[in-house]
Amino acid sequence: METKSRSLSLEGFTFDESWEEKRKRAEKIVEILMETHPREKLLIGDPYRTLIHCIISQRMRDEVTYKVWEELFKRYKDIETIANTPVEEMREFLRKSGVGLWKTKGEWIVKASRIILEKYGGKVPDDIHELMKLPGIGRKCANIVLAYGFGRQAIPVDTHVNRISKRLGLAPPRVAPEKVEEYLSQLIPYEKWIYVNHAMVDHGRKICNPIRPKCDQCPLRELCPYAKGLVTDEDIKGKKAQR
Ligand code: SF4
């Protein structure tokens, strides 16, 4: 991900805090998250497989995604095989495997593979802008490929990172995920970017759940404006919260 040079505004936050205070708090938050949710193996380490995983995963549960992804690579060994597979066949494989949006994803998987072979010599590009030109790859997936495939410092903002960053007051409650990425990249030291996604995803699954977060069990509660009532789900979603 490219580094943003300009500063972001403090407007839109629901509580007062200087940029410097926010930065210090963000650093502590990431340290605690890394201690609470350590993950020995950070990388899948294969950009192409990471990219295909990300296409399958869109609007899918993790367990199902993983199974389908494993099965896909058992059946179609490598990028050449996938690129040479008719789109209809790939769609049928996804449909039978219970993948939502199977028509679109089948086309994305085959077409992205063909483009990587033809335009990039079979190597997934390690540039966010080139990645985002591939079918099915938005900013979140591009950052996932950079972080988990290439091991680069990047902050993919998925639903967990978006929600938790806003509850923690590291991004204003109403901004788009792209903006959340900008705030996080300004607040969190560069060498820790790669940990943010996996730590927040684990935190979101175990503690900071979408509905009724377990604030009383959370190691971040002293640092969290949501736990102090300074940010609410209503602020984030714009509707009455279920807490
Ligand atoms: S204190 Fe509550 S809202 Fe804040 S991060 Fe922890 S679980 Fe989420």
- The alpha carbon of 114 and the centre of ligand 1 are apart by a number of angstroms equal to 43
Q: How confident is the model at residue 238 (pLDDT cuts 50, 70, 90)?
A: low
Cα 166 to Cα 231: distance, rounded to the nearest angstrom: 8
The parent domain of residue 143 ranges over: 47-149
Q: What is the average per-residue pLDDT within 167-179?
A: 96
- Do 100 and 178 belong together in one domain? no
- The alpha carbon of 123 and the centre of ligand 1 are apart by a number of angstroms equal to 40
Q: What is the average per-residue pLDDT within 213-234?
A: 97
Single out the residue in 97, 131, 149 at which a domain terminates.
149
- Do 58 and 24 belong together in one domain? no
| Own/partner pairs, 201-207, CB within 8 angstroms, 24+ separation | 201/158, 201/160, 201/161, 202/36, 202/37, 202/39, 203/33, 203/36, 203/37, 203/160, 203/164, 204/159, 204/160, 204/161, 204/163, 204/164, 205/160, 206/37
- Do 33 and 51 belong together in one domain? no
Indicate the pTM of the whole model. 0.90
| Pocket of ligand 1 from Cβ distances under 6 Å | 164, 167-168, 207-208, 213-215, 218, 220-221, 224, 226-227
- Do 54 and 34 belong together in one domain? no
